Chain A
Amino acid sequence: MSARRPLDTGALGGASSSKNTTDAVISDNAAPCAVADEPSSARKQPPPEKASDVRRRTYVIVSFWLIVLLLGLPIWWRTTTIHRANLPLDEMLDWADGKACRPVFPLRISIRANSLQEQEAQNLLRLTQHALDDLNDFSGHHLRLQLSPPAAEETHNGDDGAALTIRLIPGESTTSTLDPYAPVLDITYPPNSIPSPTSSSSSLATYVAGQLRSTFAEEQAIISFLLSNNSIPSEHRPQGLTPEAAESLSKRTTRSLKYAPTYHLTFSLFTSGPLPSSWDIEAAIDEFMKPVLNVLTPIHNFTIDTQVQLYASPGVQSQILSKEDLSSFINAAEWPLSPSIGGAPTINFIVFVGNQTILAAPREPPKTEDGLSTSQSWLVPQWGTVYLLSLPSDTTHVSAATLRQPLLTFTSHLLSLTGTPQSGSLPLRLSTLARIRSADLLLRASSTLGSLARLALALPSISIPGSVADGVSKTMTHLRLACETLGGPEGLAHARIAEAEAERAFFEKSMVGQLYFPDEHKLAVYLPLLGPVGVPLLMGLLNEIKAWRKRRRERAERGAEKKKE
């Protein structure tokens, strides 16, 4: 209307405006009341309803609502909720962040100095400990010296749980030799180098400390490397891990297989032609490999199988194999090297009978670091070893003697594949391996817990069966135990169990299978039935409540009138 105004001539404009004002006035005061009483005047009210009818209607509505509330809601709840067992999420995250456990490896070193008097030895011990603590920078891994009683003379190796035993033997100069068959370090010293009780420092003490430190340097490095790779808060972080050391360590850890209680060793004889078709592998294994396997048994079990494969053409046809050929030498498509189905990881040891040889590149230095790749064999990280065996073309049978060299290579590679450190004597390396593995397992289990917790938080509509919950609880109890007994054999056992449980809980099938419905979808399914059915129910209930209120008010008024009279 206001839009039309400018077109109007004055008179019309005046008229129209007056009309506006008038009906505006009318509508302002008169309209409401008119609307209010106009129909009531035309229509007559129904007679008052009987009280019995009212009560009956109430009962009817209540009967419907009782069914909805007592049966409908519980059923809806039962049939549409997703079962989520409650997990100790905070604890799990604590484990993942390393707050729950601070990995420390207390190593007890027992010194046996039978030729020294008590207080001299004590003094030396104190000084050496001082020197060690000065040298050590990594709180998580520290050596504690102790004096072993002379009584334990015969049992020379460090029984009573000591990681290493130092034998101090008087000699003419200070030398140190590591016993190859027992964790024993023999140190000879000239008699004059015994520190006097008063002196605050001693060359012998520093020497011993240095020896110990160098002995355990690698283990310390590896453990600190593991910790640094993990999300351990920085105050536990070891310092002073040089980047190149870290780089070589990471190389080594990537090469070694993921820890498993059991490894499956597969020895395969591949020949490019029809011959040879049989070998004395059993005898060879018993002779050359069993000793090491027996030594490893406290940490791993091994199952073995062997096979012979003829007419196996390698992936690379050239006679001389260069470095880049090695990666593609194994013909994965043709060769039946399927991993074992038992669940244990498989380590493949392949003897390839052929006339190929590896081109020893002259310019790059021969990889003597661990002799993992020679002119005849090379190690495939986390997979196994290939050994090129060249035999006269008419040999039909490979004897055990021929297999000697290959199997020795395999043995050394097996050690590095299981992640055994290189330096030190064998017993020392194995005990170190146990400690490294337990630390590794501990960290992996806790990180698995963390990711499970994050998953549970991220997907609110994923179902968490009870098996996961108790798996998690088992994991955490064993983690706690492992954390307490870290460095010992039972620590390894606990860590092993914890890791297995954590994996099982994380890869629970029924959790993966849970499919997820967005809310719009639920709405589209529920609304068509529950909407139209719910509306009348709701309206009935509301009307009933309104009427009930009204009745109560009337009753109150009636009561008031009665009082007046």
Chain B
Amino acid sequence: MDGGKVTLGRTAGLYLGAAVLRLALFTLFPGLADLLTGRVEISTPVTSFKRLQEGLFLYDHNVSPYDGGVYHQAPLFLPLFSLLPSLPIFTYLLYIAVDILSAGALLKIADSGEAGSSALFTSPRREKRWSGFVIAAVFLFNPFTIATCIGRSTSVFTTCAILHAISRAVAGAPFSAMVALSFAAYLSMYPLLLLPPLLLLCYDRQLPERAIKPGMRSAATNILVVVGVLAALFQMSYLMTGSWEFLPSTYGVQLTLSDLTPNIGLWWYFFIEMFDSFRSFFLAVFWLHLSCYVGGLTIRLRRQPLVVLTLLLGIFSIFKPYPSISDASLFLAMVPLYRHVFPLMRYTFVIAAVIMYTTFLGPAFYHLWIYAGSGNANFFYAITLVWGLGQSLLVCDLTFAVLRDEWEVERPEMAGKDIRQI
């Protein structure tokens, strides 16, 4: 906890270093930004910066960006970026700032120690943990994060909003947490599923000096806040674009997957090959599968809401309609908070190996398919499958480790023994 004050200079240095690194990449390799923007692993139809530019262009020329198949992002991006001066350097600075804000939020979360000891549960291993500095550094210098930033994918805004929601909740400020979450939901819909665990987290972390509100009432007020903020955002978007047609074009695309551009997820190839009469059914099934974990995890891990949030972020980064490595980087930024349960994980090596393998083979196979023409779509599809499997293995293993950690509290004699589940 007190690490924060002592190492203030260090964190400033860290931020500076990260900013300098990114700025150098932007400026020294001018082609790099556009190259990364074009990569399917980084920018999906709903986060691509090039599509954002197109939307801006149409918006500035009074053509409705949503009356077309290109721009599928939230309307409020348009005024934000059109207010930005046209020089690219400002865009770079904005993205760098957003990354550093996310890192700051992550650092707060880590230093709060919520991961180790929450209101209802205290891990026996909590002493063995990394400081916020390390975790922020891991996030900032994670190649995935850097690539996302250079690629200027708009998902960094979602990442930032989610991290801030969590950090505010940990800091015991439910209102601002809810506001941040509604921003995330407005930008890319799926964070709305994080609401239940976040409510619990807020409830657990209420500041002692405030009167402890009964759970139901606080939950109700928080939900009202979310609804209100979302309504306000939608109203603003409506006033800006002058019609509701941004709803189908922004969220409808995520629901119906009408744009089948390849990405690292499991949806695109499935729905390219799916028979038309079953398409709608399987769309619904995939969305249900995405959302069915929320309830179970929240109940099972009631005592550690932060873990639920982490695991859900991991699951989303696998099973989202349009996942990109930025989602993975968000999940991988949360994982180090659980340094203390790493010893309990079983497949660390396999997971690391699989993630490395896919990281290097994915682009290669994509090149073979699209450019060299010596491979077909199955090459890239296979890699996305492996990537999904590896990540799901990581999620499952983390769940196992956390649960075992909980379990050993009630049966301390079992520490280090090998166990099984019945």
Contact = CB atoms under 8 A, between A and B. Distances in A.
B377 interface: no
Q: How large is the interface on B (under 10, 10 to 19, 20 to 34, 35 or more residues)?
A: 20 to 34
Interface string A235-264: 000000000000000000000000000000
Contact of B292 (A46, A67, A517, A530): A67
A81 B183 CA distance: 38
15 contacts: A46-B422, A47-B411, A56-B300, A59-B299, A60-B299, A63-B296, A64-B295, A64-B296, A72-B285, A72-B288, A75-B281, A79-B280, A80-B281, A515-B277, A533-B289
Interface in B398-422: 410-411, 422
Interface of A: 46-47, 50, 56, 59-60, 63-64, 66-68, 71-72, 75-76, 79-80, 515, 517, 525, 529-530, 533
A56 B302 contact: yes
B236 interface: no
Contacts of A525: 275, 278
A50 B410 contact: yes
Contact of B277 (A60, A72, A517): A517
Contacts of B280: 79
B125 to A, nearest CB: 21
A80 B295 contact: no
B412 to A, nearest CB: 13
Nearest to B294: A63
B292 A80 contact: no
Given A56-B300, A56-B302, A525-B275, A64 B292 contact: yes
B284 A79 contact: yes
A515 B299 CA distance: 44
B277, B278, B280, B289, most chain A CB atoms within 10 A: B277
B176 interface: no
The 7 A-B residue pairs whose C-beta atoms are closest, nearest first, are: A63-B295, A79-B281, A75-B284, A79-B280, A67-B292, A59-B299, A60-B296
B315 to A, nearest CB: 14
B247 to A, nearest CB: 20
Contact of B300 (A50, A60, A72, A533): A60
A523 to B, nearest CB: 12
Interface in B77-115: none
Residue with the greatest number of chain A CB neighbours at <10 A, chosen from B288, B291, B299, B302: B299
Contacts of A67: 288, 291-292, 295
Interface string B283-326: 01100110110011001101000000000000000000000000
A50 B288 CA distance: 31
A476 B275 CA distance: 39
A46 B280 CA distance: 47
Contacts of A56: 299-300, 302
A297 B241 CA distance: 58
Contacts of A60: 295-296, 299-300
Contacts of B289: 533
Contacts of A63: 295-296, 299
Contacts of A76: 281, 284
Contact of B278 (A46, A71, A72, A80): A80
Contacts of A80: 277-278, 281
Contacts of B291: 67
Interface in B247-290: 275, 277-278, 280-282, 284-285, 288-289
Given A50-B410, A79-B280, A71 B288 contact: yes
A60 B422 CA distance: 16
A64 B296 CA distance: 7
Given A50-B410, A79-B280, A529 B285 contact: yes
Nearest to A543: B422
Contacts of B295: 60, 63-64, 66-67
Contacts of B277: 80, 515, 517
Contacts of A47: 411
Contacts of B292: 64, 67-68
A75 B300 CA distance: 27
Nearest to B281: A79
A67 B299 CA distance: 14
B410 to A, nearest CB: 7
A322 B186 CA distance: 84
